[in-house]
Amino acid sequence: MAAQAEIDQQLGRFVRAQIGGDARIGALTTLPGHAGQSYSFELEYGSPVRRERLVLRLAPEGVRPVGTADVVRQGRIMRSLADTAVPVPEVRWLGNDPEWFGRPYFVTAFVTGDKLAEGEHEFSPAQQQKIAKSAVATAAALHQVEWQPRREAWGDPFTLAQELERLDHLLDRPTLAPETIVGAAELRERLRVTTPVSPRVGCVHGDYQWANTLAGDDRVLAVIDWELAQVGATLIDVGWLLLFADPASWVVTKLVPAHIQPAEELAEEYRSQVTWSVQDAEIRWFRAFAGYRFGVITAFNLMLHRRGKRHDPSWEEIALSAPRLFERGRELIG
């Protein structure tokens, strides 16, 4: 990983090339996260002096810039939403040119806000419920965005069959810990035979949960981390958000904010925000799919951690819930 001093030098050279020789940076700070390297920094330039706080996001070192490592695609997706009701950070610059950082990058405005994820905020119970409703309304706004004019940034649609097939590549590995995938195969088969035939297709965040929204003033201020964004079944986002609003899905419930509304109430809120019909059975299927998807991802990431390929001990605790996620999925799907 590049040293922070090196990033500081590269970034200073970059901003001077963009806005003039008097530009200077300071307060470079590494931000938390797993899918790349992110830094916040202060930018000063002009006369009289103007000051801004920005974020630099870099692709991971030594990794092909595809899939979740394609930070330029993420920047283009955020930029494609700038004229919509979906709050996203303003994208100032992006590019693949290795001249500046040796890898792809984007730079956005810094959004001051807190995450509703458990333990990361000081919101009151009433504020948590208002923010949760705002998060649902934001998801509905995203799903109402016309995806066809944004196809160049977002790509072609993915079907639910393709979604299940992608998870097969993670689940069907002999190196997974057997205790983490108890009940996974049964839920997978049930999902396959009950897959919705013609789900509504639109822009999907792909990892829409409390940790990927920044909130303040009792509302969502920005949606971040677009690594998994795609065109697909819009209820993927709803099922995913409801998974993190359902204590019954978890053995360790720290990923569920303590005072938000029950999942069923948030599902009703989503129905009230969209103009198309959303059936109860659809919601249950996508909630079950979310539990299956996160359970499989958990088992896979725990395997990577234990084999020393991607050190992240947090998966040890999260994996305690994996069998329960598969069990809860079977309960929801009936």
Tell me what pLDDT residue 21 has: 86
Distance CA 218, CA 134 (A): 8
Considering the domain 4-109 in this protein, what is its CATH number?
3.30.200.20
Contact status, residue 104 vs residue 71, Cβ threshold 8 Å: yes
- Residue 36's pLDDT band (boundaries 50, 70, 90)? low
DSSP, residue by residue, 79-91 = HHTTTSSS--PPE
The pLDDT value recorded for residue 23 is 94
CB 127 within 8 A of CB 117: no
Q: Is residue 145 within 8 Å of residue 84, measured between CB atoms?
A: yes
| Tens digit of each residue's pLDDT (9 = 90 or more) over 50-95 | 999 999 999 988 888 888 899 999 999 999 999 999 999 999 999 9
Look at residue 1 and tell me whether its pLDDT is greater than 80.
no
By three-state DSSP, how is residue 55 classified?
strand
Q: For residue 157, give every residue at least 6 positions away whose Cβ sits within 8 Å of its Cβ, in sequence order, or none.
A: 147, 201, 230, 231, 232
Q: Give residue 228's pLDDT.
A: 97
Virtual CA dihedral for 260, 265, 268, 272, nearest 10 degrees? -50
d(CA 55, CA 33): 13
161-174, pLDDT tens digit by residue?
Answer: 999 999 999 999 99
- Domain spans of the chain, in order of start: 4-109, 125-333
Average confidence score pLDDT of the chain: 95
Per-residue pLDDT, 132: 98
For residue 259, how far is the Cα from the chain centroid? Answer: 22
CB 325 within 8 A of CB 295: yes
Q: Which superfamily is assigned to 125-333 in CATH?
A: Aminoglycoside phosphotransferase (APH), C-terminal lobe (3.90.1200.10)
pLDDT per residue over 223-253, tens digit each? 999 999 999 999 999 999 999 999 999 999 9
Say what the pLDDT of residue 81 is: 98
